Chain A
Amino acid sequence: MSDTAELESVDAFAARARSWLAGNMPRAADGLGGYNPVQRNDEAELAHIARCRELQRMLFDGGFAGICVPTAYGGLGLTAAHQSAFNREIRGYEYPADTQIPTFTPCMAVILEFGTEEQKRRHVPPILKGDAFWMQFLSEPSGGSDVAGAQTTAVKDGDEWVLNGSKIWTTGAWWADWGLCLVRTNWDVPKHRGLTVFMVEIHQPGIEIHRIEMLNGSREFCQEFLTDVRVPDSQRIGEEGQGWTVGTRWLYHERTISGGSPYVTSPAGRPAVALDPGGGSAALIPLARARGLLHDAHARELIGESHALGLVGNALTDHIAEEIRSGAASEQAAAITRLWFGVSAVRNSTISFELAGPTAVAWSQDEREIGRKGIRFLMRQTSCLAGGTTEMSRNAISERVLGMPRERTVDKDTPFRDIPRSRPAGSS
């Protein structure tokens, strides 16, 4: 870059961020400011999201939103190193934790990469100001990992497209503003060649949102039913039929959720709570004490193991991000970090459950905190499912990083309409 010399140094930026944060941002209630999702009722959830909007606006007004976003779209035009420095400084402060993902990555990242000049000028600034939260309209009821097998269809009608079909596993679609939507625009070509991506306003006639109740009572995930939804052609991202070119980058940006995205504000070196809502390894000490196990050798080993996984995970995230930045590894290596956060969160959940013992399956009123470990354990596999399954990341690592032979595909050269597809759920 020719203007690199004019950029503010990372140290100067970090010092400026430090003093701004101290003067302007509230301290986090838990002292850590890590992502620590809790279950809320709808009213509380809406209040929380409103608070996230406020916090995002504070970052924007302070000049610290969109650190790696070009200035033309309201960002700072700085580097990933500046974002990392900011992530170190923001530790301990309140920040819009629950609205970073998927708005900033993969959605904004995709818009920045494939959007037209006009689309970027229109859609990126509202994101940075906290005025627009985005969701991914990606998975479909007919298949999760095979996202290129999308069956939701868009048909051109003059300057508009008419969308019909269904999307699923959209977090918070009931309160979000926009969806990035992968649809099929041509059934007569092989599956990867008939896709197109659109930006769709979520709250409009023709989109019905159904909230899915998870086994832990959460109703954050949604399914959307699209019936004759009209989308102007100006909201198309990338060329018609080039949806998979966009899609592969989309999935790449999705994998950076586990760490390494230059667009995500998230406290660095946080305890491994990102996918383990148990509060990290430090919370295991009071848990073991409450169960009278603090002096039990096995319990102490489990607590140490959990702590080790957190520290190793942080080191791995930095290491892989650096390898990708320096070009020592391809972007496909992000799948390594994704796999790590899946399997280490599973292990942490198991450790919490084991320490919680019988109290995790039957608890009294004053033991409810421990009882939650049981519910979380029932949801254990979420970390290996959400954001692309760990099976998919293992495929990516072995095939794209290690260069092992690709899985055989039967749908590569056949028109999409002729390949076998899942039957609709409930049919026999």
Chain B
Amino acid sequence: MFPQSSDQALLAETTKKFLEAECPLPKIRELADSTAGFEPEFWRDGAELGWTSLVVPKEAGGGSVSEGGVRDLALVAYQFGLHAAPGPLSGTNVVAAALGRWGTEEQQIGPLGALLRGEAVSAWALAEPAPHGGFGQVGLRATETPHGFRLDGAKTPVDGGAEASHVLVVARHVSGLSQFLLSLPCPGLTIVPLEGLDLTRRFARLEFDGVQLAASSLVGAAGAAAPDVEWLTDLAVTVQLGEMCGAMQWAFDTTVQWAMNRYSFGRPLASYQEIKHRFADMKMWLEASFAITAQAAAAIDSGAPNRSELVSAGKFFIGRYGVELLQDCVQLHGGIGVTFDHDLHLFLRRVVCDAALVGTPSEHAARLTDILEEREAGR
């Protein structure tokens, strides 16, 4: 997907081999009927390969294989996309990154340690139902109590919300955004499983009705978490970018092979200029997706000031053209492309879910305009 160091290539290669062995596509179909969508031992083994530690600082027990943990994670996410792999890659890494940076010592020893070892999985609860359904809107209230805080409101859809041992919740405190780490189950919290498109990802709606939390559950400063939430948003989106790139690659390669081998009117499909030209467009979308994903991941790693700009440009572009690429691959397959037996839909599901979550392409385009406007005002 992008130039890699030898250590990064090794991480990508071991992840690839592991996923090929542990979750071939028939296995993904089997997991569709399971409760969690993945098996605990699968996740523990993955943690040993490094899946959970890449974006956690060394001091907090993490470690990446290069200077750039986010690039490393994007490479792993690419492999997840390429194999339509199950597992809480995004939720666990986002929460681990938060705890590794802003968690208390207690949070780092307990929950973070378990996440790093793959013994626990976590979810990040950002999105909310109407009237706070827009990207980045937070209406869930955190109010101070004599013993800490109470939370009231709802989060949905929360990726992995029902399977997580810990949930990091973004809440609105009177002085600004705050994040809290909850252990599940938790009194006052109702978890409603949702139906969804992806065969192996499970989503839930979390309803907070006077959930009581100790002050020690705060992650970062009360009321001052807005920059943290922005950073985690960019990280979560970059995992999606990597994953969508992988799924696009699978669909593209599979459809190129199909067009080369499928004959119609005595000629391979790939010999028709109309079809060749569509593959040319798809190839351009694919390479452009790789390019912007690499830059977005590198910008988070380096702390570049244009980090969110590159991330949102990536999400707008891949969210829109990644979905188009998958749908075009369906079209070029003909009727078989919309059957359950063909594997294409496993990848279509993954790309469509990633495109719609953590900000739609349109919402990320609007975020870019916010950035341009701020820049203009700053001049």
Known A319-B2, A336-B284: A404·B276 in contact at CB below 8 Å: yes
Interface of A is mostly: helix
Check if A64 is an interface residue, CB within 8 A of chain B: no
Contact with A along B282-324 (1 / 0, CB 8 A): 0110011011101100000000000001101110110000000
Which B residues touch A308, using CB under 8 A? 312-313, 316-317, 364-365, 368
**Shortest beta-carbon distance from A407 to chain B in Å:** 6
Known A301-B362, A305-B365, A336-B284: A319·B290 in contact at CB below 8 Å: yes
Q: Which of A281, A320, A335, A398 has the most CB of B within 10 A?
A: A398
Which B residues touch A401, using CB under 8 A? 283
**Is there an interface contact between B281 and A315, defined as CB atoms closer than 8 Å?**
no
Once bound together, how far apart are the Cα atoms of A26 and B326, in whole Å?
49
Once bound together, how far apart are the Cα atoms of A311 and B293, in whole Å?
11
* Number of residues from B at the complex interface, CB < 8 A: 44
**Is there an interface contact between B292 and A312, defined as CB atoms closer than 8 Å?**
yes
**Shortest beta-carbon distance from A312 to chain B in Å:** 5
Once bound together, how far apart are the Cα atoms of A315 and B314, in whole Å?
10
Once bound together, how far apart are the Cα atoms of A285 and B375, in whole Å?
11
Contact with B along A341-355 (1 / 0, CB 8 A): 001000000000000
**Is there an interface contact between B294 and A304, defined as CB atoms closer than 8 Å?**
no
Which of the segments B167-175, B216-224, B266-274, B335-343 contacts the partner chain? B266-274
Which B residues touch A340, using CB under 8 A? 284, 288
Which B residues touch A398, using CB under 8 A? 270, 276-277, 279-280, 283
Contact with A along B359-370 (1 / 0, CB 8 A): 000101111111
Known A312-B313, A404-B276: A397·B283 in contact at CB below 8 Å: yes
Check if A239 is an interface residue, CB within 8 A of chain B: no
**Shortest beta-carbon distance from B3 to chain A in Å:** 7
Check if A393 is an interface residue, CB within 8 A of chain B: yes
Check if B256 is an interface residue, CB within 8 A of chain A: yes
Q: Which of A282, A294, A312, A402 has the most CB of B within 10 A?
A: A312
- For B310, the closest partner residue in chain A by CB is A311
**Is there an interface contact between A391 and B373, defined as CB atoms closer than 8 Å?**
no
Known A282-B376, A312-B317, A398-B280: A304·B270 in contact at CB below 8 Å: no
Contact with B along A111-132 (1 / 0, CB 8 A): 0000000000000000000000
**Is there an interface contact between B273 and A407, defined as CB atoms closer than 8 Å?**
yes
Contact with B along A42-65 (1 / 0, CB 8 A): 000000000000000000000000
Check if B214 is an interface residue, CB within 8 A of chain A: no
**Is there an interface contact between A320 and B3, defined as CB atoms closer than 8 Å?**
no
Check if B372 is an interface residue, CB within 8 A of chain A: yes
- Give chain A interface residues in 304-332, CB to chain B under 8 Å: 304-305, 307-309, 311-313, 315-316, 318-320, 322, 326
Which A residues touch B268, using CB under 8 A? 405
**Is there an interface contact between A304 and B364, defined as CB atoms closer than 8 Å?**
yes
22 sampled A-B residue pairs with Cβ under 8 A: A300-B366, A302-B365, A304-B312, A305-B316, A307-B313, A307-B365, A311-B292, A311-B310, A312-B288, A312-B317, A315-B291, A318-B291, A336-B283, A339-B281, A343-B284, A391-B277, A395-B273, A397-B280, A398-B277, A398-B279, A401-B283, A405-B270
Give the interface of A toward B (CB within 8 A). Answer: 281-282, 285, 294, 297, 300-305, 307-309, 311-313, 315-316, 318-320, 322, 326, 333, 335-336, 339-340, 343, 391, 393-395, 397-399, 401-402, 404-405, 407
